Amino acid sequence: MQKLSSWRPLVKAIVISGLISACAQQPNSHSYNAFLLNEKAYFDSAAVDVFAFSSKPGGLFFDSKTAGIEIVHHGERTATNGDVRLLHTPEQWDGMGQLVSREVNSQTNTITTQLAYPEHNFSYAVKATTQGDKVIISVHLDKPLPTNLVGQAGFNMEFVPAEYWDKAYLADGKPGQFPRSASTTNGMRMNDNGLTEPTPFATGKTLVLAPEDPTRRVTITETLGDGELMLFDGRTKAQNGWYVVRDLIPAGRTGKVVEWSLDISALPNWVRQPVVGYSQVGYHPKQPKQAIIELDSNDTPKQRIELLKINADGSHQTVHSAKPNLWGNYLRYQYATFDFSEITEPGLYQLRYGKQTTHTFPIDNSVLAKVWQPTLDFFFPVQMDHMLVREAYRVWHGRSHMDDALQAPANYEHFDLYAHGEALDTHFEPFEHIDGLNYGGWYDAGDYDIRTQSQYHTVQGLVHAVEEFGIERDNTTVDQAKKFTEINRPDGKQDILQQIEHGVLALIAQHRAIGHAIPGIVAGRLYQYPHLGDGSTKTDNMIYDASMDPHAAERAVGEMYQPSTVDPTSTEELMPENGTHSGRFDDRWAFTTNTSALNYGSAAALAAASRVLGPINQALAEESLMTAKKVWEYEKNRQPNTYRFGNTTGGKLEEEKLKAAVELLITTQDTRYTQAVNELLHQVEDNYHGDNVAMLILALPYMDEAYASKIRMLTKKYREQIVNIEQDNPYGVPITRGGWAGNGSVMGFGITNYWLNKAFPDIVEKELVYRSLNYIFGTHPDSNYSFASGIGAKSQTAAYGSNRADFSFIPGGVVPGVLVLPPDLPENKSNWPFFWGQNEYVIPMGSRYLFLTHAAQALLQK
């Protein structure tokens, strides 16, 4: 933990103090924005920061818009991807330069990054330096631009549209308005190769973005004199595109070939507004209650924070106040805390800190009673693949992917981290239809693939929630025969069991059709992959037949798929009108590698589901257990297949095997699984966290005293390690630093602590469970809204779901949360849903959220 006495804020405060004094003497001066190349290797001022390749270009899912030259403008990251690109408005999967080296020279105040496009035999350097309150960016070549890149390679910088909508620009003094819709730009044109490309909607030597808004004004000047700045709207090609400023690299030149001067406006004496983190849902009277105040490094903590109780007539009174307790520094901010656990009287409250007053929140016994319902009522039904999903007057989507699926080819690397090696592990030929995969399963995320690992994680999590808390709710109709779901229409069956059944149907389909678990099913063409809107329009829903004319008006073979029991309220016109087969090569692909980890993970979920499915589908329950046992015997008698690629081929082998062993042990109480659990304990004890802990604790009732003693010892060691987390950040939960934000880890932390508190309450306290849930509900860095969409007074309502192009959300979906961008910027964009690493719903988060909310409620009801 960095204490407040850390030298960085002190040194910066001294520098800023002098700059503020200078600004006081010269009100129009920009000297307050003078940049320092700080110890974290970026250009730092009080109001503006400029990163220069602090993050490596490319990432888990390629261009995540977190690299190159970036601008943090009055606390918000507004620009990114300042780099050489080969298209005017590159999309996610288009080429990026590969990082070769990055040199930071504090003597010359320069950051020089060497990059290359090896496939084009093209290398270059991007230099960033400062001149007072300006940043100078230049591109340097040792060799002239390759001939094939002339007219294609240029220096780009992208500006997030949501920060510039409804604002103006000046291009060499000529005014214009940033378009809210891409249709009001110059649009597209066909180039000499017959391909379409966007055209600039403004050009000039100097571009001024948002001249009327000092919080967003950026002046970009082309300083070499022979280039031209072009302003594009990337949304003409893709809804997630940004505004792009571009300068083409001239042919036949070496040395400095592009140079920009960036004059980024700064409000004099600007200090970021404090963020008062608290639970947007409220608090149970019995639980600890703590607000965490996030402060700019140049801010001075105020002397008081107050808790106000709101009366029926709108009046209020202060029921508790105190001086915030200084915690220390985390990332780029300083933190203070305010504990009001002593307030237990039910009522409506607000927090007041300085000029800020928060939204109201309740303190009441029932605060957690319904917070899980939108996830079960809306999120899971909307994610259901192969179903028509209706809600009153609205159809969320039609019956999708009825043409699943084609065998993916061998020796092939696909997008979205799917791939095949030499073996397909099936008897199907490449692009042959695999029958029986067109039912069950959820859309994995904001996209539409069936990722097997996500499916079985979700099923297993839902089963544990049912068994541990007895969740009962019937608010949704699910009819598998009709492939029909209707939200807010009870059907006499427990919704959570129907969701478990839907997930199991996708898992069991793989074993029925192929004989083993597979990595998953995903769009075959890149143009289909980022599909937005109704999933039923992604394919023609007719099985691909290579012998048929793809352009034929009549595409019928056999009888049209039309169940005789179709619900009269369903829209039959959404079904294929021309039969079951077509010549259109638009079906999804099944990646079919037979990996041991996936088999064990799938078997674990099937064994668990067999314990709860009986009331609604006894036959499926029996088949699930039989299949899980068969998988166990199969894997026991072969050498493990540990083929690894991306994140689609299962988790760690020993951890997935532990899941299967424990679930089979609980289901059958067969002692051979007891022996396996004992053996696996020694393999996973160094990773005593997350799902491993849940499995090992669930096995306790079936194991001996030696096992229990070992688990108790590991739990003590685990609790000691939590101190490191508590010293790292003021929230006391694990905040990850990868390319995907960490709400899954935060909720997993709470779930782990629930199981450990249940088994060893003298070692692990239940407050750790509440801590994780409060983080999800608003007590987190960067902002204070709830990460559970539609839940709490203020929540993330522009999220990366299937309706993200509408800047909307799916009630009950939980977003990944705060992404820590190197080196020190916590971020979650509430106005730009297209950041998948921050805002993309994934189904395992839904099951974790259901479990965690019930876990907290159960502990509070004791």
Give DSSP secondary structure letters for 566-624.
--TTS-GGGS-SS-SEES-----EEE----HHHHHHHHHHHHHHHTT-TTT-HHHHHHH
| Residue 32, pLDDT score | 54
Helices (H), 422-494: 452-469
Distance set, CA 488 to CA 60, 309, 685, 811 (Å): 38, 35, 45, 13
First to last CA, the chain: 35
- Pairing between β-strand 134-141 and β-strand 43-44 as defined by DSSP bridges: unpaired
User: Residue 38: which H helix or E strand, with range?
Assistant: none
Same domain, 567 and 590: yes
Same domain, 134 and 153: yes
Same domain, 240 and 293: no
Given a contact cutoff of 8 angstroms between Cβ atoms, the answer to whether 293 and 335 are in contact is yes
Same domain, 191 and 283: no
Q: Confirm whether 809 is domain-assigned.
A: yes
Q: Which residues contact 451 (CB under 8 A, 6 or more apart)?
A: 444, 445, 519, 520, 522, 648
Report which residue type is found at 714. L
- Its domain, for residue 296, covers 275-363
Q: Determine the Cα angle at 610 with ends 606 and 615, to 5°.
A: 140
Report which residue type is found at 641. N
Domain boundary among 244, 264, 284: 264
What would the pLDDT profile of 330-383 be if each residue is shown by its tens digit?
A: 999 999 999 999 999 999 999 999 999 999 999 999 999 999 999 999 999 999
pTM here is 0.93
Q: Confirm whether 119 is domain-assigned.
A: yes
Measure the CA–CA gap between 785 and 782, rounded to whole angstroms.
Answer: 9
Q: Looking at residue 80, which CATH number applies to its domain? A: 2.70.98
Same domain, 464 and 490: yes
Q: Which residues contact 615 (CB under 8 A, 6 or more apart)?
A: 494, 497
Same domain, 288 and 423: no
Same domain, 279 and 233: no
Given a contact cutoff of 8 angstroms between Cβ atoms, the answer to whether 434 and 514 are in contact is yes
| Residue 184, pLDDT score | 61
Q: Confirm whether 16 is domain-assigned.
A: no
Cβ count within 10 A of residue 292: 26
| Residue 747, pLDDT score | 98
Long-range CB contacts for residues 738-741, cutoff 8 Å, separation at least 24: 738/60, 739/59, 739/60, 739/61, 739/64, 739/66, 739/819, 739/837, 740/60, 740/816, 740/819, 740/836, 740/837, 741/815, 741/816, 741/817, 741/818, 741/819, 741/820, 741/828, 741/837, 741/838
Measure the CA–CA gap between 310 and 313, rounded to whole angstroms.
Answer: 8
Residue 415 carries which DSSP code?
Answer: S
Same domain, 445 and 590: yes
Q: Which residues contact 719 (CB under 8 A, 6 or more apart)?
A: 756, 763, 764
Domain boundary among 264, 283, 305: 264
Number of domains into which the chain is organized = 4
Q: Confirm whether 577 is domain-assigned.
A: yes
Same domain, 329 and 416: no
Given a contact cutoff of 8 angstroms between Cβ atoms, the answer to whether 759 and 770 are in contact is no
User: Residue 21: which H helix or E strand, with range?
Assistant: helix 7-25
Q: Confirm whether 628 is domain-assigned.
A: no
Which pair of tokens denotes residue 370? 């319904």
Domain boundary among 363, 384, 401: 363
Distance set, CA 669 to CA 110, 325, 501, 674 (Å): 66, 52, 23, 8
Q: Confirm whether 691 is domain-assigned.
A: no
Pick from 410, 459, 460: which is nearest to 590 by CA?
A: 410
ω before 490 within 30° of 0 (cis)?
no
| Residue 556, pLDDT score | 52
Q: Confirm whether 685 is domain-assigned.
A: no
Pick from 501, 506, 499, 534: which is nearest to 376 by CA?
A: 499
Distance set, CA 487 to CA 294, 475, 799 (Å): 40, 7, 21
Same domain, 238 and 208: yes
Which pair of tokens denotes residue 432? 């042959």
Same domain, 218 and 284: no
Q: What is the mean pLDDT of each run of 10 residues along the chain (862 residues)?
A: 35 36 36 82 96 91 94 98 97 94 97 98 98 95 97 97 96 95 73 79 97 98 94 93 97 97 96 98 98 97 97 97 98 98 98 97 97 98 98 97 97 92 96 97 95 98 98 97 98 98 98 98 93 94 92 52 40 51 96 97 98 98 98 97 85 96 98 96 95 97 97 98 97 96 98 98 98 98 98 98 96 98 97 96 98 98 86
Which pair of tokens denotes residue 510? 């793989």
Q: Hey, is 673 helix, strand or coil?
A: helix
| Residue 132, pLDDT score | 87
Given a contact cutoff of 8 angstroms between Cβ atoms, the answer to whether 523 and 449 are in contact is yes
Cβ count within 10 A of residue 651: 18
Q: Looking at residue 359, which CATH number applies to its domain? A: 2.60.40.10
Q: Confirm whether 687 is domain-assigned.
A: no
What would the pLDDT profile of 403-452 be if each residue is shown by its tens digit?
A: 999 999 999 999 998 999 999 999 999 999 999 999 999 999 999 999 99
Same domain, 471 and 333: no
Measure the CA–CA gap between 853 and 44, rounded to whole angstroms.
Answer: 41
